[in-house]
A and B are shown apart, each in its own frame.
Chain A
Amino acid sequence: MKSDWKLKALALAIVVQLLVLAGELVGANYPLWTGQKIRLEVQPVDPRSLFRGNYARLNYQISTVKRCDKEPDRRLRSGEVVYVHLQPDTQGIMRAHDFSVEQPAEGAFIRGRVIRMEVDCPEVEVRYGIEAYFLPREKALALEEELRREKAVASVMVAANGKAALLGVESAAAP
């Protein structure tokens, strides 16, 4: 029989692992449970990662936000949280028109993290956590082929705090 405290500590370590998985699940489902559906223009490319499997990497129209008419307060660091302000176009597809470090009080927005920033004519490259669309390799290639012919649109759920979850990718012509 082993020492009591170590048994308890091991049990706690198991619980911690389960809590991490639970946290990941809740984080992934939060926008799906509470969010509003928006549509975003997207271009897929097909990579594979050792740790992640096959997926179509999605490059959104809103992945780069440029505001040459605006003086930047400071240079944003890589990894910093940023809120991208959205406005729908005539087809109901959301377009980026501004970005801010503070969460906007009103209007549609999505939360992401800065990858890179150009200061001269302020431009930020942002990741929203919805850039990977996992599919079996054959399906990923078929999707890529289909979307090469037609404009692609991603359906995304966005929670009240701006956190996004990807629902799916389809042709813009699809109903």
Chain B
Amino acid sequence: MRLIRLLKRDLAYETRDWVEEGLIDRTQGERICARYGIDFEHPDEHGLGYGVLMVLGFLFIGLSLLTLIGANWEDIPRWARTAGLVLLVLAANLRGWLSYKEGRLRAAIGWFFLGSLFYGTAIMLIAQIYHIGEHFPDGILWWALGVLPFAVLLESGLLTVLMLLLAYTWLFVEAGLDFFPLWFPVFLAAAGWHLYRQAHSNLIFVLVVAGVGVFAEYALSWFMLEAPGFRVGQENLILAGGLFVWFLGIAQWLTSRRSPNLVDYGTVLQVWVLRFFVLYLLFFSFEGAWNELLGNRWHLLEPTLVIVLLLNAAGVAFTFISSRGQLSVLLTAMLFLGMLGSALWLGDERYGVWFQVAANLLLVGLGVWLIIRGIQARISHYFHVGVTVILLTGLLRYLDLVGDYVGAAILFAVFAAILLAAARFWKSTHPEAAA
């Protein structure tokens, strides 16, 4: 995994400089760019500067309208306000339609983006004009649904991001009011379609993957508890672990594909899954988290366990299909299921501190592995995450002791022993490091 994949536009510019300076010839430059799926001649094929300025301009027009929401412009008659809003939506969209008809796709997307902002503002302002307040998340849902066809038909990243941001806002507002966000998968599917059409966007990919996880957790929370709403239970914690192994397997599979886009998505997924895993382990480095699992306060254990086992199996299967990272994913799945199984088997909060110690040792072990792997494979991200993990674990245990002071001191001594042993191992395998 090379994170340079995520900076490939910069790489293309660098390559052109190398060619100009005579460090490499043009054919080599083109081959380097081709390896990362970017055009040597036109690395900035999207006219980034122009596009960003246009979008920001449109965004501020939309913001200026949204500010009107605060003004409550009640001096203008109702019919005039309503007609003005509808005409604004119609005018921007018609302009977009005409641009599209003339073959000017970027201009069309810009106009439809503005039209979508007007449309959402119109929904909110009409609700304001008529004092409608039955269930305001519906307004956000209708807004997102109105953007969806434009995002799909125009295959536009900008409109897809707008649709997803609205869908996420609706999800959290709807869930916050204890309603089930049934429409959310439709938006994820539309964004998934956008990615499937080979339109490359790491942002949309991350939003889709995160959306799958959030929706799965919310759905579990909804079905698990009698009272509706997003209330995190122990089942949510183990589902998060299952999703992690599944995503890890998918990341390995994606990086084994031939398409540069899929390799990029795999790389992004690996980066985010690693960060998620670190956060997950840090959460379980506290005794309270284990006490939750050991306390036998399950609501929907068996179905959740089946889902978690299937996710683990699918994650491992993906790595075997792709012939990449089988051992690391298999070990991660076994470790996760082993700890989960032990917690379920023991089922007694008195063992919480033992699991906490195991999680802390695992964190330091992960940190050491990341540092060594980062240096060996020249992946700076691994190295930095490894150092961060060890420092954070030390800080957290200093603030939140394991057992008493003596227990914490013993744990710190074990941390030191692991780190020094790793350093000696490094020195023995790389004699030049001793010089």
Contact = CB atoms under 8 A, between A and B. Distances in A.
Interface of A: 1-2, 6-7, 9-14, 16-18, 20-21, 24-25, 27-29, 48-49, 51-55, 77-79, 113, 127-137, 139, 165-166
Interface stretch (B117-125, B265-273, B379-387, B409-417): B117-125
Contacts of A55: 128, 131, 133
20 contacts: A13-B146, A20-B123, A20-B146, A21-B123, A24-B127, A24-B132, A51-B136, A52-B136, A53-B69, A53-B72, A53-B124, A55-B128, A78-B178, A129-B132, A129-B134, A131-B133, A134-B128, A134-B131, A139-B72, A165-B130
Given A16-B146, A136-B71, A25 B131 contact: no
A25 to B, nearest CB: 6
Interface residues of B, number: 47
Q: Which one of A9, A79, A132, A134 has the greatest number of beta carbons of chain B within 10 Å?
A: A134
B100 interface: yes
Contacts of B283: none
Contact of B100 (A7, A52, A53, A134): A7
A54 B123 contact: no
A129 B133 contact: yes
Contacts of B178: 78
Given A1-B103, A7-B97, A17 B179 contact: no
A21 B122 contact: yes
Contacts of B13: none
B100 A2 contact: yes
Contacts of B86: 18, 21
Given A20-B145, A127-B134, 10 more contacts: A10-B96, A14-B90, A21-B89, A28-B127, A55-B128, A78-B177, A78-B178, A113-B135, A136-B74, A165-B130
Given A18-B89, A113-B135, A133-B131, A13 B150 contact: yes
A12 B136 CA distance: 26
B93 to A, nearest CB: 4
Nearest to B140: A51
A49 B136 contact: yes
A53 B123 contact: no
B131 A130 contact: yes
A142 to B, nearest CB: 13
B403 interface: no
Nearest to A132: B133
A133 to B, nearest CB: 6
B93 A17 contact: yes
A52 B146 contact: no
A11 to B, nearest CB: 6
Contacts, number: 131
A166 B131 contact: yes
B135 A7 contact: no
Given A51-B140, A52-B124, A13 B132 contact: no
B89 A79 contact: no
A53 B128 contact: yes
Given A18-B86, A54-B72, A113 B134 contact: yes
Contacts of A166: 131
B72 A135 contact: yes
Contacts of A13: 146, 149-150, 153
A78 B176 CA distance: 12
Given A7-B97, A51-B139, A17 B146 contact: yes
A132 B133 CA distance: 5
A126 B135 CA distance: 12
A61 to B, nearest CB: 17
10 closest cross-chain pairs (CB), A and B:
A129-B134, A132-B133, A28-B130, A53-B69, A13-B149, A166-B131, A136-B72, A14-B93, A134-B128, A17-B146
B71 to A, nearest CB: 7
Contact of B90 (A7, A18, A131, A139): A18
Interface in B139-182: 139-140, 142, 145-146, 149-150, 153-154, 177-179
Contacts of B136: 49, 51-52, 132
B325 interface: no
Contacts of B89: 17-18, 21
Interface string B81-112: 01001100110011011001111000000000
